[in-house]
Structure 1
Amino acid sequence: MLCLEFTIPPLPQFVTVGFAVWSPGDRHFARTFGVYDLLVVKRGTLYMAEQDREYAVGPGKMLVLEAGLPHEGYRSCEEDTEIYWVHFIHDGKPAYIRQEEIPWSSLLSRGTVEDEEPSAQQRLYLPKFASVDLEVLEPILQEMNEIHSRLNAGNALRLHVQLAAFMAALQEECARTALPEPAARLARAAAAYLDQHWREPFQLAGLQEELHFQADYITRCMKQHIGTTPLQYVLHLRLEEAKKLLGGTVLGIPEIAERTGIRDPNYMTRLFKARFGLTPGAYRRRLRHRE
């Protein structure tokens, strides 16, 4: 499955939403549109072409027609066809990525009280053309249409929230239907285990026993599909927790080291400085100075 990859923030911005029943013989006119046109078909088939690619969008399928690309109906509807559409805009041009190549488990830095901008590492993934679960999506689309039909200053924000929920549901559908190769599944299983045990003393033997694979193979799989070794993954979690405790508590460095599973405070200080460019104490002083 091909997906569109958008950099977020900003999130896509809502333009309009609608629902229609197209009769036999109806056909979409040709246009080059300045917004994204996301189509979801409930019943019947809509025949759309974008540039030189043709799509038969049947029941339970969705298609994203991209801003700036010409599209038109290449064939008329043959039966009553029920269609939802959502128009949105986004400042950046999307990249294309195969579903199986999406790095779902890649680690991202968490925001802290020090940050003045959101992380630029975040991505939104939308299927280009795919089957979807109408039982999940249709209630959101119906709610969006209901709000849009009686739009006012009091409910406008809800419409934008629903757009975000709709896109989150599409992305979850994309992740749910992904069929990663065995090595990717093992990498995710290892990450899930470490998410639960990162405060404990790090031992590759625990991973081996839990996952029934040799430590060297687990390490290679995590490095390939997540970008870190098991130890690097654990240290990332520990140092992110240390940042949170430095900014949100008055705990001393030894106590923070203990709470994050790092027995030696001096070792934590060295790790922290190597990762963030300053010692834990300097990091805390900078936070307090900004306050």
Structure 2
Amino acid sequence: MLCLEFAIPPLPQFVTAGYAVWKPGDQHFARTFGVYDLLLVTRGTLYMTEGQTEYEVSAGKLLVLEAGQRHFGHQACLEHTEIYWVHFIHGSPASYISQKDIPWSALLSKGTVEDVEPSTQQRMYLPKFASVDVQTVEPMLRGLNDIHNRLNGENALKLHLLLAELFAALQADCARTTEPEPSSRLAQAAAAYLNEHWREPFERAALEEKLHFQASYIARCMRKHIGKTPLQYVLHLRLEEAKKLLGGTVLSISEIAERVGIRDSNYMTRLFTAKLGMSPGAYRQMLRQRKEEEGEGTALLLKMPIDNEKPTGL
């Protein structure tokens, strides 16, 4: 299955939604516009062309037409056809990725209390053209249409929340389209084990005993599906925890190393520097400096005089 990949945040934004019943002989007009057009057919068949590709969107199928791409109906409907549609926009163009190549288990860096910008590593996936779970998706589309028809200040937020739920359901539906291969299941099992034991000394033998596979094969499976070997996975978890402790505690570097399961603080310093481009001490100093700058900015605002004079010339 071909999927559309969107960088998030921000999530795609709602524009409009609707429901239509097309009679036999009705045909979609040609247009090119700057929004994505998500279509779900619940009855009949819609015949659409986007670019040079023809789609026969029958009942239970979803098609996402892309912003900036010309689309038109290349054939009239042959029977009564019921369609839900949602228009949305996104700040950057989507890219294509095969469902089997989506890195569902890839590790992402966690945010810390010191971060002032969201992560740029996150992605959202939507099927380009696929059969979907109509029983799950149709009520959401009906809800979007109902709220949109009676939109007011009270329910406007619900509209955007429901759109996010729709995207989550479609992504989950996309993830369920194929049964995970045995190597993927083994990689997940290894990751689950390491999530519980990452503070303990890393031992290949313990991993082999738990999963009943050779460590070299487990490493190949994790590299393929998660992007890291077991040891790299453990070190990633340890360094992410070290970042949190450097920013949120006054523990020494050696104490932090011990807490995250690294016996040698010099070794942790080398690992930390290789990953972040600075030593743990420099990272902590950077966080302290940022706090001081933020504090100075707040103090300056508090000291600014308040002008109570009435404006003139208005």
Taking structure 1 as the reference length, the TM-score comes to 0.91
Unmatched runs of 5 consecutive residues or more in structure 2: 292-314
Give, in angstroms, the shift of residue 252 of structure 1.
Answer: 4.0
Does residue 80 of structure 2 align to residue 80 of structure 1?
yes
AA partner of residue 130 (structure 2): A
CA drift at 1:20: 1.7
| Structure 1 residue identity aligned to 2:165 | A
Query: Which deviates further from its counterpart, 186-195 or 51-60?
Result: 186-195
2:6 alignment partner, SS class? strand
| C-alpha contact 1:100 1:179 (8 A) present in aligned 2 | no
Query: Does 1:285 pair with 2:285?
Result: yes
Cα distance between partner residues in 2 of 1:146 and 1:241? 45
Partner of 2:42: 42
Cα deviation per residue 1:179-222 (whole Å; 9 max; x = unaligned)? 34433333233223222322222112222222222111111222
Equivalent-residue separation in structure 2 for 1:22 and 1:46 (angstroms):
9
Q: 1:258 to 1:185 in 2, by over 3 A?
A: same
Equivalences for residues 152-191 of structure 1 within 5 A:
152-191=152-191
- Map Cα deviations across residues 8-64 of structure 1 (whole Å, 9 max, x no partner): 223211111111222222221222222110001122222212122221212221000
Moved more, 109-118 or 98-107: 109-118
Judge conservation of contact 1:187–1:226 (CA < 8 Å) in 2. Answer: yes
Partner residue in 2 for 1:55? 55
* AA matched with 2:73: G
1:106 partner SS = coil
Q: Distance in 2 between matches of 1:196 and 1:139?
A: 38
Match for 1:72: what amino acid? F
Larger Rg: 2
Count matched residues. 291
| SS of the residue 1:32 aligns to | coil
Report what 1:14 is aligned to: 14
Aligned residue type for 2:202: F
Q: Summarize the Cα distance change of 1:143–1:250 in structure 2 as closer, same or farther, 3 Å threshold.
A: farther
Any idea what the Cα deviations from partners look like across 1:94-129, whole Å, max 9, x if unmatched?
A: 211111011111111112233332222222111100
1:104 maps to a residue whose letter is W
Q: 2:201 maps to which residue?
A: 201
Structure 1: gaps (5+ residues): none
Structure 2 counterpart SS, 1:19? strand
Q: What SS does the aligned partner of 1:40 have?
A: strand
**Residue 90 of structure 1 corresponds to which residue in structure 2?**
90
* Contact kept? 1:48, 1:75, Cα under 8 Å: yes
Residue identity opposite 1:279 in structure 2: S
* Cα distance in 2 for residues equivalent to 1:23 and 1:245: 64
**Could you tell me the percent identity over the aligned residues?**
70
Match of 1:108 in 2: 108
Counterparts of 1:100 and 1:81, CA distance in 2: 32
Aligned alpha-carbon RMSD (Å)? 2.0
CA separation of 1:270 and 1:63: change in aligned 2, threshold 3 A: same
C-alpha displacement of 1:265:
3.4
Partners of 2:28 and 2:114 in 1: CA distance? 51
